[in-house]
Structure 1
Amino acid sequence: MTRMPLDAAALRDALTSARFTVDAVLDRIGEAGQDGLLRNSTVPADRALGPADDALALLVRLFILQQDVPTAALTGVIDVPALTAAGYLRDRGADVSAAIDIRPYGSADDGASGWIVADPTPGLDTLMTPTRPDYVLGVSPASTTLAQITMRRPVERALDLGTGCGVQSLHLARHARRVVATDVNPRALELAALTARINDVAVDLRAGSLYEPVRGERFDLIVSNPPFVMSPPGEDSQRLTYRETNFVGDSLVETLVRGSADHLSPGGSLQLLTNWAILDGPWEDRLREWVPRGCDAWVVERERLDVYAYIEMWLADAGLAGTPRWRPAYDEWLAYFDRLGVQGVGMGWILVTAAGRAEPHLRLETWPHAVAQPVGEVFDRHAAAVDAATMPTAELLASRPRLLDVDQETIGRPGADDPEHIVFRQRTGLRRALKADTALAATLGALDGELAVGQVLAAVAQVLEVDAAELAASVVPALRDALLDQLLLPGR
């Protein structure tokens, strides 16, 4: 059947008229219904809807619960013939079912809202089936995390590499004058185009792998949750395009990082949510070698999985749990990892910035602790934090930094001259902490953005009756750490 073009504006109007929004849906299905869907169970939401057959209830049943809905009931709610002709609804006689998932989407922190189009959620109500190779994943914890870590300063050009359902483009369009989105999967480009059209967002969609569709072009911001899963190479017909390729091990991620310098404008950044192999030797040394010349990098390992947990997670994601293919596939993955020497998998965030420093700043660390999402501002401020932390001492002493969203925790014995422990802890961002002695605590506490560091150190030295030069020598290294960790924000 030849597909007919769909009037996306008419569909948007229909979804709006039915109040098919995040708040309205959550209000109808309740907390139990939402929690059930997170477990891939539709029963709590179905019970919450009860016998309701209003427009909102019908759309929830059709697109979110994946139920057959009477065609007659949808008359006047959505254009069933048009959606069927476009291939997005299936004719079941007196009923229709959804061939796609149209789901309300909202982001409170940047205001990106509307609807996301993807393939229906697999495995609802324990009905596990193998995932189709060209499956287009909807909004996932990974895509949400990428959106939350993405810096959101206004930029001229942004690239959504491996766009999938197009959710990152929806965010990028709010602060980029032009958004280019790429994918190797034709079905992903089709559904991402519908996502963009329904939300009335302009996105330049292009087919191709990695940087091929943007050869010779540069961007102020590149974001990607690439198909990083390190599965054994196989036939294209068996490979899940949204998550894996035939790149060996983590070489796809390496290629993205190494190639970023050719596609970043001066000062531009690449942000990845991805994983990398843990081999013999420090993982930091391997990834440090990937960073292009002239670029800064900040790599944060958020989680470490052993090979067994990693393989089991992705075999279940492929719908192989409980099938005869589970153990043979498991053994194939183990043999592949043995050949590559993979001992574990690091999962986390990569930031590469075309900073153009004579001495690039490379920071690779493990930070598995809780953070206060969104942390996009932390990444946005990273270049300035590096500038402040590495400035010459004379400039540092003349600068006027200030504490940012920090609590001071003091522990000591009653009546003691000095506390035993003083800790400055961030309330936002990565929630880092800095242990301080009395001199450092007094210095940090007085830095309010008005006084220069040198003025504060002179005053603290006078109060503590110590030599000002010696005090500066002991405190300045800690101030550099505080600037890099963004407990202190650079001032004038």
Structure 2
Amino acid sequence: MPTLEPARIARLREAFLDADYTADGCLELLGAAAYAALARSESVPALRATTGVGALQTLVRLFLLQRAVSYPAAAAALPVEEALADGWLVRTPESDVRATVDIRPYANDIAGEQAAAEAWIVSDLGCAVGGAGGIGSGAATDQGVPRGELVLGVGGASTTLANIAVRRPVRRALDLGTGSGIQALHAARHAGRVVATDVNPRALHFTRLSAELSGLGDRVEVREGSLFEPLQEGEVFDLIVSNPPFVISPGERFTYRDGGMAGDDLCRSLVTQAGAHLEPGGYCQLLANWQHVRGEDWRDRVASWLAGTGCDAWIVQRDVQDVTTYAELWLRDGGDHLGPREAYEQRYADWLDAFEAAKVEGVGFGWITIRRLPEGAQGAKPVVVAEEWPHAVEQPLGPVTEQWFARQDFLRAQDDAGLLAARYQLADEVVQEQVGAPGAEDPEHVILRQNRGMRRATKVDTVGAGFVGVSDGTLSAGDILDAIAQLLDEDPVVLRDRAPEQIRLLVEQGFLLPL
């Protein structure tokens, strides 16, 4: 691994900036199609785009494409002797040089963070995207690194977590299971101090390299240990983010993905313990897998993890896979399909045996956001919502997450009379769709659809559609219902009695915003 030499890393960063070895610079050089192909571990289009001479082409071939380059070309692009001495580069038998790690420019531009500065993520060769399968099926890499200790770079899961995380300015943040430091770099843009933890010492070293290379080394502290063990007694945070080793697997083969606990116990442990390490009003956000156990509703099962924590929670299942598809996904991730067929089939059978013994019929993928109740809500009944939402959403979702919990605070404080006394405003970019037979006088039903955030859709009756249509914050809900009753020649008392349930749903789902 490269050594941590802050002054020399600063000179390496300057060389990257001078060459425009940044996310935007690489996109301009390679073009959108070749740049996107890199995320699929396909390098041929990028190789074709970097046949020219220049510092940027050299750095792309070295650190993104893991190709050897001539010593003179490397010397023209970066402080090559320092990079060789510190272990970023090694010489080849042909007297060329090649990289020992993947260094990937990273667009750190999530809404709510400080003005985006350039960032770079350092990870093991072949592991920038797609897991350990990218480096074959042997026990160790060509560099002698045990495959179980590999450190991954930017992938779909890390990008998802970065996009759903709340990005308000905070005093202290925790990146639990930091890996190569992606979430820590994001948090360092809006947190005064970031603690990054991991059980893998190599991961902590890579996090420090990523932070130093991105100019954030003085804001990120690393600690070794599992889950919350590295924390001091009573230590709390405003934000905890975690892309933990959530894979439900028989055995502990890869530190980056296998938590070493039975079933989904690692995710359950993280959820049950998080509240004790949050400031009032603080958030914990994590990606998770959970078991679908025969005879149990997954919503009740996962929601039960929050019992007694005193925290609100929003649990969103984005996908669910049957056990065979799930096992095949992670066997390929680990490169097992590239090894002997007999060994692959035995490992496959081990997965299915473990699922059968636990009565697991499927595995859910999603995210969990936990919030410790704010100061003013201490003692109130927590709100825990578990839902399935496999549809497209608008990223980033951090602001949407904060708004969801703010609406829960409002609803928790209102009885029916309070809901009717409040004023509401229709959320931005909500459209109405009417469904019915062609030529029919009235629609069979009306659909409200959001074009922002979670992009939800919900069915309402004609009264609900009329109510939403005139909700501009001018009149209270009760006054609007009285006007609708008069227009429809209905009893206003009856409308007032049945409306709160629908108002509560429309507020919870973000169609109506309380003022």
Query: Matches of 2:168 and 2:421 in 1, distance apart?
Result: 28
Look up the match of 2:278.
264
Cα offsets for 1:320-378 (capped at 9, x unmatched): 22311322211222222222222211110111111245322111111111212221122
1:117 CA drift (Å)? 1.2
Residues 1:418 and 2:436 aligned together: no
Distance of 2:454 and 2:397 partners within structure 1? 7
- Is the partner of 2:474 in helix, strand or coil? coil
Q: 1:374 aligns with which of 373, 381, 396?
A: 396
Instruction: Quote the residue 2:163 is aligned against.
Output: 148
1:183 aligned residue: 198
**Worse overlay, 397-406 or 220-229:** 397-406
Is 1:439 aligned with 2:463? yes
Are 2:220 and 1:203 equivalent residues in the alignment? yes
Q: How far is the alpha carbon of 1:92 from its aligned partner?
A: 1.1
The structure 1 residue matched to 2:336, chosen from 298, 320, 341, is: 320
Secondary structure in 2 aligned to 1:430? coil
Measured after TM superposition, the shift of residue 36 of structure 1 is 2.8
What's the counterpart of residue 342 of structure 1?
Answer: 360
- 1:118: how far off? 1.2
CA distance in 1, matches of 2:503, 2:17: 52
Q: What amino acid maps onto 1:418 in structure 2?
A: D
User: Following the alignment from structure 1 to structure 2, what is the Cα–Cα distance between the partners of residues 71 and 209?
Assistant: 42
- Equivalent of 1:448 in 465, 472, 477: 472
**Residue 243 (structure 1) aligns with:** 257
| TM alignment of 1:135-174, pairs within 5 A | 135-174=150-189
Q: Distance in 2 between matches of 1:298 and 1:4?
A: 40
Among all aligned residue pairs of Structure 1 and Structure 2, give the percentage whose two residues are the same amino acid. Answer: 46
Number of the residue aligned with 2:407: 385
C-alpha spacing 1:208/1:440, structure 2 compared with 1 (3 Å)? same
Question: How far does the alpha carbon of each residue in 1:242-266 deviate from its partner, in whole angstroms, 9 at most, with x for none?
Answer: 1112111111111101111210111
CA distance in 2, matches of 1:273, 1:411: 37
Say whether the 8 Å CA contact 1:156–1:178 is kept in structure 2. yes
Contact 1:259–1:292 (Cα < 8 Å) also in 2: no
**Separation (CA, whole Å) in 2 of partners of 1:265 and 1:419:** 49
Query: Secondary structure of 2:382's match?
Result: coil
- Within 2, Cα distance between the matches of 1:2 and 1:301? 39
Q: TM-score, normalised by structure 1?
A: 0.94
Name 2:70's counterpart in structure 1: 70
Once residues 437 and 447 of structure 1 are traced to their aligned partners in structure 2, the CA distance between those partners, rounded to angstroms, is 16
Structure 2 residue 298 is matched with structure 1 residue 297: no
> Matched residue pairs, number?
486
| Kept in 2: contact 1:418–1:438 (CA 8 A) | no
The one-letter amino acid paired with 2:126 is T
- Give 2:41's aligned residue: 40
**Where does the alignment leave 5 or more consecutive residues of structure 2 unmatched?**
142-146
Could you tell me whether the CA contact under 8 Å between 1:163 and 1:181 is conserved in 2? yes
Unaligned runs of 5+ in 1: none
Residue aligning to 2:327? 311
Shift of 1:486: 1.1
Kept in 1, the 8 Å contact 2:4–2:209? The answer is: no
Q: Counterparts of 1:91-110 in structure 2 under 5 Å?
A: 91-93=91-93, 94-110=95-111
Label 1:343 to 1:432 Cα distance change in 2 as closer, same or farther (>3 A): same
Shift of 1:126: 7.8
Conserved? CA contact 1:4–1:85, under 8 Å: no
Please state how far the C-alpha of 1:308 moved relative to its aligned partner.
Answer: 0.9
Task: Find the counterpart in structure 1 of residue 293 from structure 2.
Answer: 279
Q: Within 1, Cα distance between the matches of 2:362 and 2:40?
A: 27
Pick aligned residue for 2:122 from 117, 127, 137? 117
Give, as a single letter, the amino acid of the residue that structure 2 aligns with 1:424.
Answer: L
Residue 192 of structure 1: aligned partner:
207
TM-score by length of 2: 0.90
Is residue 255 of structure 1 aligned with residue 277 of structure 2? no
Partner of 2:136: 128
Q: Deviations over 1:91-145 (max 9, x none)?
A: 2141111111111111444354421111122499987344621111111000000
Partner in structure 2 of residue 11 of structure 1: 12
Question: Could you say which residue in structure 2 is the equivalent of 1:79?
Answer: 79
CA distance in 1, matches of 2:14, 2:54: 16
- Classify the secondary structure of the residue corresponding to 1:212: coil
Change (3 A) 1:260 1:127: closer
Amino acid paired to 2:371:
T
User: Among residues 373, 389, 401, which one is paired with 2:424 in the alignment?
Assistant: 401
> Helix, strand or coil for the counterpart of 1:211?
coil
- 1:369-401 superposed Cα distances (whole Å, 9 cap, x missing partner): 121222112211122111233321222222222
| Deviation of the 1:3 alpha carbon | 4.6
| Local SS of the residue matching 1:213 | coil
Match of 1:23 in 2: 24
Q: Does 1:228 align with 2:246?
A: yes
Kindly state the Cα deviation for residue 81 of structure 1 after the two structures are TM-superposed.
Answer: 2.1
2:453 corresponds to which letter in structure 1?
Answer: G
Task: Check whether the contact 1:388–1:483 (CA below 8 A) recurs between aligned residues.
Answer: no
User: What's 1:459 paired with?
Assistant: 483
- Pairwise CA distance, 1:414: 7.2
RMSD value over aligned CA atoms? 2.1
Question: 2: CA distance between counterparts of 1:199 and 1:378?
Answer: 28
C-alpha distance 199-449 of structure 1, shift in aligned 2 (>3 A): farther
For 1:283, give the aligned amino acid: W
SS in structure 1 of the partner of residue 345 of structure 2? helix
Alpha-carbon contact 2:181-2:208 (below 8 Å) kept? yes
CA distance in 2, matches of 1:367, 1:289: 20
> Counterpart of 1:252 in 2: which secondary structure?
helix
Does the 8 A contact of 1:311 with 1:330 survive in 2?
Answer: yes
